[in-house]
Amino acid sequence: MQVTGHTVVVTGGASGIGAALARRLAQAGAAHVVVADRDLAGATAVADQIPVAVARHVDVGIEASIVELIEATERDQGPIELFCS
């Protein structure tokens, strides 16, 4: 998978597989990694360890929360090329 220069979103990024995936995508050259989770403090802790990452709150069970995540990401980081949930 080629992610160099791309904007990627990882939901569930505050811990476990999501956090590991966020780190790996950054290592692979993603321009922006959005670490998204219901646990904003956890997402922030992970994003703080990744130079190209930002944290955002999302509750994937609420459609409006997903829409806000997408809109905020595209506004601030540019078009989303990969969305991992």
pTM to 2 decimal places = 0.96
* Dihedral Cα 81, 70, 13, 59, nearest 10 deg: -150
Q: In the chain, how many domains are there?
A: 1
Q: Would residue 30 count as lying in a domain?
A: yes
Q: What is the CATH number of the domain that holds 73?
A: 3.40.50.720
pLDDT in tens, 24-54: 999 999 999 999 999 999 999 999 999 999 9
The tokens of 38 are what?
A: 């219901």
| pLDDT of res. 80 | 98
Q: Residue 80 is part of which domain span?
A: 7-84
pLDDT in tens, 8-29: 999 999 999 999 999 999 999 9
Average pLDDT over residues 74-78: 98
